[in-house]
Amino acid sequence: MISAKAPGKLYIAGEYAVVETGNPAIIVALDQFVTVTIEKSERYGSIVSKQYQDSSVQWQRRGDEIVLDNRDNTFNYILSAIRLTEEYAQSMGCKMETYHLKVNSDLDSPDGKKYGLGSSAAVTVATINALCQFYKLPLTKDRLFKLAAIAHLDVQGNGSLGDIAASVYGGWIAYRSFDREWLKSARYEEKLTNLIDLKWPALEIRQLTPPNNLKLLIGWTGSPASTSRLVDKVAFKKGQQLKGYQNFLQASAQCLTDIVTGFETSNLKRIMAGISHNRQLLQKLSKLTQVDIETPLLTKMCNIAEHHHAAAKTSGAGGGDCGIMITDKTEVDDQLVSELQDNGVQLLPLAVHMVTDLD
């Protein structure tokens, strides 16, 4: 039996700006996993998933038409990952097989709620990794990232793919998104096997080392949010607010440069100042686009954290899901933890996961 696992992720800084080509973000991989196992079968193949059995479909009305939105249905990412890996396997001359593929995820809460730790990215990475092993295809982290990015983009279409980078590389990473318009044309021009060995314009993935005294706390709001829809909303509004949006992109890039310098010089104070600044920039973006990024509970979490000398902000698209807090390990007080809990923010006891080899 073949098995592969991929970690979930959390955005630390640079959200929304990272959706634009070449803009930076910092992301961490967490020790919560999606595991995919594959077993050869004879007549029938199957795809079985404990967590992703939801057969309901979301739709929106556009005038007289009903438009389906499949982007939040994890099953579609599994199918896209299988389709793409089979295309890769065929182009490498493999004989196609029939198999049972099983998916199991820690990334959703026991009662089926989403934490927002990137299950669609992790499921895509784990499926491709497992299938490449099954077909005995050569795989590096770089190739796995590129295959997973293509498969994920085929379904969601509007993300930065930073969550895929975190899931493949692990640890703390500085990420710059590649030019997705270029990739679209490149897919028509190049064979898949060549495409995944090319240098992708603007793509940058770099490992960061946090200072020894850095402590990351994760606060879960208990309410799920749809990243793809929040990103759509910001994309729609940015067209009407171009100047303000350009300012946001520039300020975010500057802020991220500052935070990365904080990592490179082991300067926790500088990292924390950058996190607080990035929170303010996202608040401004929220005002500019009228998209609800920092919900009242996330505001409460940030204020409590700041009161206890931690830096805090929303994580990812916001609108619910998780917030992050960064503080000095030697100064974490129990009161911060109990105050958060009293106010309805649940601390997730997760640690950053390092990927040494392909898991």
Q: CB 82 → ligand PMV: shortest distance, Å?
A: 22
Instruction: Enumerate the β-bridge partners of residue 216.
Output: 326
Q: Is 116 in the site for Mg ion (CB under 5 A)?
A: yes
Q: Which is nearer to Mg ion, 7 or 316 (CB)?
A: 316
Q: CB 222 → Mg ion: shortest distance, Å?
A: 13
16 binds, among ligand PMV, Mg ion, none (CB under 5 to 8 A by kind): ligand PMV
Q: Is 219 in the site for Mg ion (CB under 5 A)?
A: no
Residue-wise DSSP of 290-307: T---S-HHHHHHHHHHHH
d(C-alpha 289, C-alpha 199), whole Å = 34
Q: CB 177 → ligand PMV: shortest distance, Å?
A: 7
All residues at 6 or more sequence positions from 80 whose CB lies less than 8 Å from its CB, including other chains: 124, 151, 152, 154, 155
Q: Is 118 in the site for Mg ion (CB under 5 A)?
A: no
Q: Which is nearer to ligand PMV, 77 or 135 (CB)?
A: 77
Q: Is 88 in the site for ligand PMV (CB under 6 A)?
A: no
- Within 320-349, the residues that bind Mg ion by CB under 5 A are 321
d(C-alpha 129, C-alpha 122), whole Å = 10
Report the SS3 class of residue 355: coil
User: Which conformational region is residue 116 in: left (phi greater than 0), alpha (psi within -120 to 50 degrees), or beta?
Assistant: left
Q: Where is 128: in which H helix or E strand?
A: helix 119-134
Distance of alpha carbon 286 from the chain centroid:
20
Q: CB 114 → Mg ion: shortest distance, Å?
A: 8
Binding mask 127-166 for ligand PMV (x = CB under 6 A): --------------------------------xx-xx---
Q: Which is nearer to ligand PMV, 19 or 30 (CB)?
A: 19
**Residue the block writes with tokens 């909303």:** 233
Residues found near ligand PMV in the complex (CB under 6 A): 11, 15-16, 18-19, 116, 118, 159-160, 162-163, 227, 231, 316-317, 321
